[in-house]
């Protein structure tokens, strides 16, 4: 009972803080879009998309594997953290150096934005301490730290708009948010007795760990590319103005992306425990998890649909077409939430490699549909390509892949069939082990 109460309390805290953040973030995004215009907002969206892909590679797929390593009985936790942070820093620093060389060679539009955003590559490896906080049931501390980082960044963005700051300043506020967040997490980590042993790094050990985490690395990199490819292709095919209009819809829809992720983080310990107890208990937990994810996605999707008519009022007349793009993204949120749940289940089953084919196929389909639809329909075509590729990756492929069809598709079907009976009371009770 105590464990279930802790999960519910943490989820409620995270949801409350995120709700406040959503409201502030929406207001700031609207103000920033009005200040920068479509072209400036588009340059920021493209730079963020490029750097986010590099960050996903720099993570080396360690996120879930680090949690599992730390939760193993008898694990040398300081050595694990020292190994993973050092490995990620070496790769991330190499990627940042490559970004500098590419910018100097190609001199792309928004080069300074790319470099400012890219600084995050040097500090992002420190997010490994979040795995320690998660494995020790301290998710609430990281949630509070993330909110504090956002407040600092939000204040700087508001000041920047008021002072008519240049474009690069707003990229710097994004990095500042991450630095504040990591600093507070590091403080909580130290205060809770966490430690890191730096002397135990070895390339052989790092390679051995990457050899286990590469399915997650490949899946995560392909997944981020799937999320960001549309923005980059719109800028390439239609210019920064159209990318900015599309970016407004993306920013609004992605404000809700945290909810399936928090749900996944909170359910991971329970799924791992039930997996060890019995097959029947694990299957029931998976069905409940799928059902919760779908109902959450339906509620969020409905909220995005209701919000879409207000896009032109919020962002300005120049962003009027963002409303239609957001309506399509509202539907895409449903397969996205299912995908997050499926990935977490595969993490427990140690079958993350099963994710890779579906994401690769989805990226290929997304790229082809973007090439066909963006020149004709602009950002709306990219939104439809996103909906098709998400549905293919997370729903259709579950019934096509041999292992997923045998082990997951039946549980997903049971979740769909049981939705009418899945009431709010049931959602609360399932959180109690």
Give the tens place of pLDDT for each residue, 296-338. 899 999 999 998 898 888 888 888 899 999 999 999 999 999 9
Total domain count, the chain: 1
Phi-psi region of 61 (alpha: psi -120 to 50; beta: other; left: phi over 0): left
pLDDT at 185: 85
The three-state secondary structure class of 138 is coil
- Looking at residue 336, what is its pLDDT? 93
Q: Which among 68, 378, 15 is positioned nearest to 209, based on CA atoms?
A: 68
| 114: containing domain | 2-430
Residue partners of 24: CB distance under 8 A and separation at least 6:
150, 154
N-term to C-term CA, the chain: 7
Supply φ then ψ for residue 256, to 5 degrees: -95, 0
- Which residue stretches of the chain have pLDDT < 50? 1-8, 10, 433
Please state, in angstroms and rounded to a whole number, the distance separating the CA atoms of residues 155 and 169.
13
Tens digit of pLDDT for each residue in 330-359?
A: 999 999 999 999 988 988 887 877 888 888
140 with 14: CB under 8 angstroms?
yes
* Helices within 107-239 (DSSP H only): 111-118, 120-123, 129-135, 139-162, 167-191, 203-238
- In this prediction, residue 15 carries a pLDDT of 65
Say what the pLDDT of residue 200 is. 65
pLDDT at residue 5, rounded to an integer: 47
Instruction: Record the tokens describing residue 274, joined without a space.
Output: 């039930």
pLDDT at 326: 94
The pLDDT of residue 331 is: 95
Q: What is the pLDDT of residue 433?
A: 46
Q: Rounded to an integer, what distance in angstroms lies between the CA atom of residue 377 and that of residue 140?
A: 43
**pLDDT at residue 137 in the model:** 66
- Unique residue bearing structure tokens 């993490």: 347
As a whole number of angstroms, the distance between CA 332 and CA 254 comes to 11
Distance CA 99, CA 97 (A): 5
pLDDT value for 58: 85
Residue 37: the pLDDT is 87
pLDDT (0 to 100) of residue 240: 85
What separation in angstroms does the CA of 307 have from each of 267, 278, 304, 325, 329? 29, 43, 5, 12, 12
Going from the C-alpha of 131 to that of each of 39, 127, 269, 334, 368, the distances in angstroms are 38, 8, 12, 27, 36
């Amino acid at each position: 009972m105590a464990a279930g109460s802790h999960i519910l309390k943490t989820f409620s805290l995270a949801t409350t803080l995120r709700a406040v953040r959503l409201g502030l973030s929406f207001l700031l995004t609207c103000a920033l879009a009005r200040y920068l215009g479509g072209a400036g907002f588009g340059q920021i969206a493209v730079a963020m998309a490029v750097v986010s892909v590099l960050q996903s590679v720099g993570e080396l797929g360690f996120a879930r594997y680090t949690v599992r390593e730390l939760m193993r009985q008898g694990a040398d936790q300081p050595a694990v953290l020292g190994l993973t942070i050092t490995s990620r820093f070496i790769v991330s620093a190499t990627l940042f150096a490559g970004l500098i060389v590419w910018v100097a060679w190609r001199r792309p539009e928004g080069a300074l934005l790319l470099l400012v955003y890219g600084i995050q590559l040097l500090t992002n490896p420190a997010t490994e301490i979040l795995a320690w906080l998660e494995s020790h049931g301290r998710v609430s501390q990281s949630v509070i730290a993330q909110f504090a980082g956002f407040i600092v960044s939000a204040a700087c963005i508001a000041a920047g708009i008021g002072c008519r700051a240049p474009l690069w300043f707003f990229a710097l506020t994004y990095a500042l948010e991450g630095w504040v967040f990591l600093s507070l997490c590091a403080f909580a980590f130290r205060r809770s007795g966490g430690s890191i042993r730096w002397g135990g790094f070895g390339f052989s050990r790092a390679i051995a760990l990457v050899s286990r985490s590469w399915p997650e690395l490949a899946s995560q990199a392909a997944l981020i590319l799937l999320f960001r490819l549309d923005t980059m292709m719109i800028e390439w095919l239609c210019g920064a103005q159209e990318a900015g209009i599309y970016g407004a819809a993306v920013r609004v829809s992605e404000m809700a992306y945290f909810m399936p992720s928090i749900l996944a983080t909170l359910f991971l310990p329970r799924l791992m425990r039930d997996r060890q107890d019995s097959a029947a208990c694990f299957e029931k937990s998976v069905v409940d998890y799928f059902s919760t994810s779908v109902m959450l996605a339906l509620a969020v999707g409905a909220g995005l649909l209701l919000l879409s008519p207000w896009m032109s009022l919020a962002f300005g007349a120049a962003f009027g077409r963002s409303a239609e793009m957001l309506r399509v993204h509202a539907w895409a949120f449903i397969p996205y939430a299912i995908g997050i749940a499926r990935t977490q289940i595969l993490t427990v089953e140690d079958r993350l490699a099963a994710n890779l084919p579906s994401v690769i196929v989805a990226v290929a389909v997304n790229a082809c549909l973007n090439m066909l639809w963006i020149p004709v329909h602009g950002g709306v075509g990219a939104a439809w390509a996103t909906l098709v590729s998400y549905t293919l990756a997370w729903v259709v492929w579950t019934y096509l892949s041999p292992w997923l069809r045998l082990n997951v598709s039946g549980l997903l079907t049971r979740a769909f069939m049981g939705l009418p009976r899945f009431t709010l009371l049931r959602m609360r009770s399932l959180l109690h082990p």
